[in-house]
Each structure stands twice: as C-alpha cells, then as structure tokens.
C-alpha cells in the first residue's frame, strides 16, 4: 500500500529540500523526517528506522509516478545496493580477487549484497541519501565505514577461501591513480 507524498520545495543555496511522508513500521505513524539515513527515529514512538526500511519506502515513492514507463523497472533495496557496490567493475574485481570455489558471480553478488544490506542496518555500512530522493535520477552513495568488519563478513560467507593468502587485484581492475583521467588520449591542440 502506498502512502501519500507531500512535497514542498524551497530553492536556497542550490540545495533542494523535499518533505516526504513515510510510515513508521513499528507504530504505523506517518511523519516527515528532515533527513534520511542512520539515526532516524519515529516522531511518535521514537523507535529507530533501519536505513533499508527508509530506502524501501523512498524507492516506492520514487516509482509510483513512473510506474507506467516501459523503460523503467521497479527498483528494490537489494537491486539498488547491488548497483552501487558493483559499479565501475568493482564487483567483478572483488569476485576475481576473492575467487570463491563454490559460488559463481551471480551467487557471489547476491550474498555480498545481502551482507551489505545487513551492514547498513547494523551500522558498519553507510548509505548517503540524496537531498531530493524523488528526483528523476537521485544519487545514493554507499560507504564502507568499517572495512575490517566487511572483510570478516566476506570470510564468513566464503570459508573455502584461503584468507591468509594475499588477494591479487586483476590487471584489468580499476587503478586508483587512473581515476579521473580520460580513457582515450586526446589529440594535439592547435
């Protein structure tokens, strides 16, 4: 069931603020938080809302006016998280680096995505919500707050991997020093 969305836009200093009414899963109360993310509590019962619950409701609000477009698929939390952590070949590079013996890339993506979703709710991962989550192309950012915890989660998911061995990044993976440089050489300027 969809809840009503109240939108109030104010343009000041190039930041757009959007008031979105979401429903607390604990008490059912509708409320409009000022910001989304870790630490959001219901204004009525004061229970914390997990970031994945917030994201699911925001994605529903984003989808509702666009549901008739044939070029869009209904997004869900795990779909968005997978797109974030596998962007720019990072997922394939991690898969090749870990090289699990009993999981193909599809299973690997699924397991890691679920671990990241759990990390969001437990606080060792962080999702930055956009200022306007209802924009046509909102930008979410995924941050690994505790990389040691992420490594322990990977060890638990793939116990067959020899974790004492150094993980090699494949030669085709993105090299941080190359980020931001043009992919094709430019011609001489005249």
Instruction: List pLDDT tens digits, range 70-96.
Output: 766 778 899 999 999 999 999 999 999
Strand partners, 48: 41
Phi and psi (nearest 5°) for 126?
-135, 140
Do residues 13 and 28 make contact, with C-beta atoms less than 8 angstroms apart?
A: no
Cα dist from 69 to 6, 41, 65, 147, whole Å: 22, 34, 9, 39
DSSP 8-class letter at 60: H
Strand partners, 141: 128
pLDDT for position 133: 82
Give this prediction's pTM.
0.68
């Amino acid at each position: 069931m969809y809840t009503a969305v109240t939108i109030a836009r104010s343009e000041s200093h190039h930041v757009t603020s959007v008031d979105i009414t979401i429903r607390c899963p604990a008490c059912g109360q509708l409320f409009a938080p000022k910001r989304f993310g870790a630490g959001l509590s219901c204004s009525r019962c004061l229970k914390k809302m997990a970031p994945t619950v917030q994201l699911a409701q925001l994605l529903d609000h984003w989808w509702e006016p666009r549901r008739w477009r044939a070029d869009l698929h209904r997004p869900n939390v795990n779909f968005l998280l997978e797109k974030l952590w596998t962007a720019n070949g990072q997922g394939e590079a991690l898969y090749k680096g870990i090289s699990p013996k009993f999981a193909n890339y599809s299973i690997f993506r699924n397991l890691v995505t679920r671990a990241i979703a759990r990390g969001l709710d437990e606080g060792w991962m962080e999702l930055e919500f956009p200022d306007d989550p209802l924009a046509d192309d909102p930008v979410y950012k995924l941050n690994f707050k505790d990389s040691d915890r992420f490594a322990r989660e990977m060890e638990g998911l793939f116990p067959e991997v020899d974790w004492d061995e150094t993980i090699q990044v494949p030669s085709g993976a993105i090299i941080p020093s190359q980020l931001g440089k043009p992919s094709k050489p430019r011609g001489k300027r005249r």
